Amino acid sequence: MPSQTLLRVIGGPQNYAWGKLGSSSTVAQFAHANDPTVSIDESKPYAELWMGTHPKVPTIIANSGEKLADLISSDPAKFLGTKVAEKFHLTNELPFLFKVLSIEKVLSIQAHPDKELAKKLRAADPTNYPDDNHKPEMAIAITPFEAFCGFKPLLVIKDHLEQIPEFRELVGTKIAQSFINSPSKESLKLLFAEVMNSSDEDIEKYSQLLVERSIQEPQLFSDKRLPPLIQKLNDQFPNDIGLFCGCLMLNHCILSTGEAMFLQACEPHAYISGDIMECMAASDNVIRAGFTPKFKDVKTLVNYLTYSTNNVEEQKQPPAPFPRGTGNAKFSLYDPPIDEFSVLQVEFSESNGKALMKGIDGPSIAIVTKGKGSISDGEETLDAFAGAVYYIAPNTETTLNSVSDDFTLYRAYCEA
């Protein structure tokens, strides 16, 4: 009988329009490698690979076809750990959702509700807000990665209002001058509300002028990366409000491979390009604002954002040591200030390396992103290859062996 403490599992790819096409997508590559019955359609975008128990895309056990959620429900204390099951009141689901994202085009500018707001939104509009849970999330770059995250410092937004006529004209002299005279969280909310409630006619008119300004007078912009970014995103979403609320008002963040950022609930953000590991509380709630043809909820977004203006470096989640990992591998723990998840990165730099991970008092999902090796729980040894996904039961000690010198694994877990 196969081990029930270490199982190879199969997640589900999602074909959102912003994903990379066909086999150029890491999501498509991983989905096919882990389940060869998944055929890659070169004309389709492969955007996300979901790994978890969310009912929208349930993960299944490779050798049986059983849903991971059904296995957990057979013995929650065994498959979640008693503390995790009790803390989060769970009977058949993981407290987190783990994903791979392959981003070709900008995602919608969005925020995710906190727990209190999520309950209100689901009760009022379950079609657009299907979950009653919050959705803080963390992104770890597995290639160079570009994103918007949080509002720019107030003085940078003030500079944009002073230097860029189209920005002032879109919001009107009164709102613009009020912010310039007194940059604050309160005036930022008024400014953002004015931008987001602009008429379609004004958005089209001033977006065209903004793009032209970025070509003719790039020196007016506070960051030399902004003019080409405005032009690039306008090619993807012509004359979109996101050119103002994203490019001119949100931090432009670039992460190198291995860097991470953590996004609290009710913080505006948008991913622009690159491949990432993403982990979040188990929810699919999104409050959208720009760069999207989907449902936008401007009133909710404006009223519930935190309007914090931390700089980019403060958005980053630095890695910490992981003392429970030993051997010939580098362990880096990304441990955000929430209870639902942490993510461990394990990297080998030599073939024939060996590393041990002591048991974690909660459930884990792990995925190999690079190289080859094996993973064992002492009972069973499974091949490890790029795209392979595993469920690891609570308190299971695991051993990793590298076959290649670039063997890399990410492990999401919850420990109460």
DSSP state letters, 46-71: E-EEEES--TTS--EETTT--BHHHH
Average pLDDT of span 171-195 = 96
Tell me if 401 is assigned to some domain. no
Q: Which band of pLDDT confidence, cut at 50, 70 and 90, is reported for residue 305?
A: confident
Residue 123, pLDDT > 80, answer no
Strand partners, 110: 269, 288
Say if residue 293 is exposed, middle or buried (CB neighbours under 10 Å; 0-12, 13-18, 19+).
exposed
Mean pLDDT of the residues in the chain: 93
Residue 391, pLDDT > 90, answer yes
Average pLDDT of span 12-28 = 97
Question: Angle, to 10 degrees, between the axis of helix 154-163 and the axis of helix 173-181?
Answer: 140
Tell me if 175 is assigned to some domain. yes
Number of domains in the chain: 1
What counts of helices (H) and strands (E) characterise the chain?
14, 24
pLDDT at 240: 94
Tell me if 233 is assigned to some domain. yes
Token match 């490019």: residue? 247
Residue 3, pLDDT > 90, answer no
Strand partners, 260: 140
Residue 152, pLDDT > 70, answer yes
Q: Which band of pLDDT confidence, cut at 50, 70 and 90, is reported for residue 299?
A: confident
Tell me if 204 is assigned to some domain. yes
Tell me if 225 is assigned to some domain. yes
- The residue type of 402 is S
Average pLDDT of span 159-185 = 97
Average pLDDT of span 196-202 = 94
The mean-pLDDT minimum among 16-20, 53-57, 159-163, 264-268 falls in 264-268
For residue 10, CA distances in Å to 34, 287, 367 come to 7, 29, 10
Residue 104, pLDDT > 80, answer yes
For residue 235, CA distances in Å to 203, 228, 230, 239 come to 15, 11, 9, 9
Residue 1, pLDDT > 60, answer no
pLDDT at 112: 77
Tell me if 76 is assigned to some domain. no
Find out whether 113 and 284 touch, Cβ atoms under 8 Å.
no
The mean-pLDDT minimum among 113-122, 257-266, 322-331 falls in 113-122
Of 362, 359, 363, 392, the residue nearest 375 (C-alpha):
392
Q: Which band of pLDDT confidence, cut at 50, 70 and 90, is reported for residue 130?
A: low
Pairing state of beta strands 372-376 and 325-327? unpaired
pLDDT at 2: 62
**And the tokens for 382?**
């499974």
Q: Which band of pLDDT confidence, cut at 50, 70 and 90, is reported for residue 284?
A: low
Of 105, 173, 184, 107, the residue nearest 151 (C-alpha):
184
pLDDT > 90 in the chain, percent: 80
The mean-pLDDT minimum among 49-58, 237-246, 309-318 falls in 309-318
Average pLDDT of span 365-373 = 98
Kindly report the CATH number assigned to the domain that includes residue 210.
1.10.441.10
Residues, the chain: 416
Reported as a single tens digit per residue, the pLDDT across 27-84 is 999 999 999 999 999 999 999 999 999 989 999 999 899 999 999 999 999 999 999 9
DSSP reduced 3-state for 412:
strand
Q: Please indicate if the annotation marks 112 as binding a ligand.
A: yes
Tell me if 92 is assigned to some domain. no
Q: Specify the pTM.
A: 0.92
Residue 392, pLDDT > 60, answer yes
CA distance 57 to 348: 31
pLDDT at 326: 97
Of 375, 373, 341, 406, the residue nearest 6 (C-alpha):
375
For residue 237, give its domain range: 153-248
Q: Which band of pLDDT confidence, cut at 50, 70 and 90, is reported for residue 285?
A: low
DSSP reduced 3-state for 230:
helix
Token match 């003019």: residue? 227
CA distance 2 to 396: 15
pLDDT at 100: 98
Active site residues: 288
Residue 172, pLDDT > 70, answer yes
pLDDT at 134: 53
Tell me if 136 is assigned to some domain. no
CA distance 346 to 373: 12
Average pLDDT of span 13-28 = 97
Element (H, E) at 190: helix 185-196
**And the tokens for 190?**
């008024």
Radius of gyration in angstroms for the set of CA atoms belonging to the chain, rounded to a whole number: 22
For residue 44, CA distances in Å to 57, 74, 266, 366, 387 come to 18, 37, 31, 26, 19
pLDDT at 37: 94
Q: Please indicate if the annotation marks 86 as binding a ligand.
A: no
What count of Cα atoms within 13 Å lies in the side-chain half-sphere of residue 126? Answer: 2
pLDDT at 291: 81
pLDDT at 136: 78
SS3 annotation, 234-288: HHHCCCCCHHHHHHHCEEEEEECCCCEEEECCCCCEEEEEEEEEEEEECCCCCEE
**And the tokens for 107?**
């995602």
Average pLDDT of span 357-367 = 97
Find out whether 399 and 375 touch, Cβ atoms under 8 Å.
yes
Of 106, 191, 200, the residue nearest 152 (C-alpha):
191
Q: Which band of pLDDT confidence, cut at 50, 70 and 90, is reported for residue 296?
A: confident
